[in-house]
Amino acid sequence: MATDTVRGARKVGRYALLVVVAAVVLFPIYAVVLQALKSGPDAFDHPRSLLPVDLTFDTIRSAWTDGNLGHLLLNSLFVSGMVTIGVIITSLLAAYAFAFLEFPGRQALFAIFLATMLVPVEVTVVINQRTANWLGWDNSYQGLIVPSLATTFGVFLVRQVFLQLPKELREAAALDGVGHMRFLYEVAAPLSRPTLGALGLFTFLGTWNAYLWPSQIITDNDHQTIQLGLNKLKTPNDISKFNLLTGGLVVAALPIFIMLVVFQRQLVRGLTAGAVKG
């Protein structure tokens, strides 16, 4: 009886703690979302701004028009989608060669691949900016897409899964005269679908959220991604329009939050792939 009470009290205590911590973690998002859902003056009437009253879509609507957010969203969607498809294809092909084919220099080549994983974007952008400029890819979709189409992380991740597929599968298929490409397309790729899902999601998020590279090669309005375009809504000198930024933030973050909720499991798999197994 007494232990039950103690246990019950502990449970309540833990829930209380969880709620408080969750409130703190969520506060920045909550405050910005509510400000976005209020008209200018209401949004800055603190702390009343934090109450879900006087809600309106006007701010988001003006941010949408003023910031040309529809166009920016389409740009981000197109670029992220193309990069995601490209990374899955290049990763599948290279991973297949490393996992199923035997050729001289395979180990050495894989070592080189792994080594490039260490090179951060922050180092290569200095020169890549010049390469893009030389190719005439400043302010272009190919400039945003092509440099990101192959990642060592993807090759590594897919290779790990391929190595776990039984060798007999490939041998049996070879006896039946099934070529490499058909085996990859019909057997190996479908069997690694969960990992491909994680890789795709991870790549999409990474491209959607990229900042440094786009900021260095895009200067016009036509090819801006949503991440760059938000900066235009930042009007430090015009307080009356400040609220538009909150509207823009909601529009930029919403698709990603929906993805997070829908694909939580794949995301966790992608993030932990490198961590737990060591």
Partner 1 sequence: MKRKLRDLPPALLMLVPSLALLGVWTIYPLARAIDYGHKRCDSTFRNCTDAGWDRYSQVFQSKQFQDALMVSLKLAVMTVPIGLVLGIGLAVLADKHLKGIGIFRTIFSSTVATGVAVASLVWFVLLQPQIGVLADLLSDWFPKLKNPGLLNDPDTALPAVALSSIWASLGFTFIIMMAGLQSVPRDLYESAYVDGAGSFRRFTNVTLPMLTPSILFVTVVLTTRALQSYGEIALLTQGGPQSTKATTTIPYLIYGNNSVIHNDIGTKSAAAVLLFLLCLVFAALQFRGFGKRVHYGN
Hey, which residues between 87 and 126 contact partner 1 (CB under 8 A)?
A: 89-91, 93-94, 96-97, 101-104, 106, 109, 113, 116, 118-120, 122-126
Residue owning tokens 């709620």: 19
Cα gap 132→155, rounded to integer Å: 24
Sign, CA torsion 35/36/39/41: positive
For partner 1, which residue of 68, 128, 140, 221 counts as binding (CB under 8 A)?
Answer: 128
Structure tokens of 268? Answer: 């966790």
Q: Does 175 bind partner 1 (CB under 8 A)?
A: no
If the CB atoms of residues 164 and 231 are measured against partner 1, the closer one turns out to be 231
HSE-CB at 217 with a 13 A cutoff on CA atoms is 27
Which phi-psi region, left, alpha or beta, contains residue 136 (left: φ > 0; alpha: ψ -120 to 50)?
Answer: left
Q: Does 4 bind partner 1 (CB under 8 A)?
A: no
If the CB atoms of residues 165 and 259 are measured against partner 1, the closer one turns out to be 259
Please report, as residue ranges, which positions from 130 to 149 form the binding site for partner 1 (by CB under 8 A). 130-131, 146-147, 149
If the CB atoms of residues 35 and 75 are measured against partner 1, the closer one turns out to be 35
Query: 195, 228, 232: which is closest to 212 by C-alpha?
Result: 228
Please report, as residue ranges, which positions from 182 to 221 form the binding site for partner 1 (by CB under 8 A). 205, 208-212, 215-216
Q: Does 16 bind partner 1 (CB under 8 A)?
A: no
Cα gap 229→64, rounded to integer Å: 11
Structural Rg of the chain based on CA atoms:
24
Please report, as residue ranges, which positions from 255 to 274 form the binding site for partner 1 (by CB under 8 A). 256-257, 259-261, 264, 267-268, 271-272, 274
* 42 neighbors 54 (Cβ within 8 angstroms): yes
Q: Does 62 bind partner 1 (CB under 8 A)?
A: no
For partner 1, which residue of 152, 192, 224, 266 counts as binding (CB under 8 A)?
Answer: 152
